[in-house]
Amino acid sequence: MNRVAWVMFFVVALALLMWYTLIVQVFMGQPVGTSPGPDWLVVVFWVLFGLLFPVLFYAMHLEVIVDPAAVHIYFRPFVRREIGLGEIVGVTPRAYDPVREYGGWGIRGMMGKKKAYTTTGRQGVELTLRDGEKVMIGSQHPEILAKAINDLRKAQ
């Protein structure tokens, strides 16, 4: 089972546990566990982990759009970033180690000069910017993404 499947397994398992607790304790009136919380707390946890958490994971995705002006990075629903093609001095498609280089997948390094926007896998395109910042964009097709960026940079 790949990492995405494991994460989704735990998200679904947590959601099902919250639904079970809500139904049994709140609707059927049978306390769940050896030291059950009050019904209002069960409802709060159900809203957070039975509804919002799964919806967030379902809605979360990385979208990269390259146009003649910029590389647009959308890590929905959290981040929207534009990098002007004129800011880019290097484009390198490469394999990388998400855990060792960035501490995992997701939005990483927001305070430093080395940032990453990744969801799964170990392939991506590293952009080197004029100010020395390096931005890794995860991609299942890094060569195609790098070529699109380079082609538009040369056309300017």
pLDDT of residue 2: 65
pLDDT of residue 25: 96
> Closest Cα partner for 156 from 73, 70, 52?
70
| Whether this model's pTM surpasses 0.85 | no
Q: What is the CATH number of domain 61-155?
A: 2.30.29.30
10-residue mean pLDDT profile of the chain (156 residues): values are: 75 95 96 93 96 89 94 91 96 93 86 87 94 95 96 87
Q: Contact at 8 Å (CB) between 18 and 50?
A: yes
Q: Where are the domains of the chain?
A: 3-59, 61-155
pLDDT of residue 151: 93
pLDDT of residue 31: 94
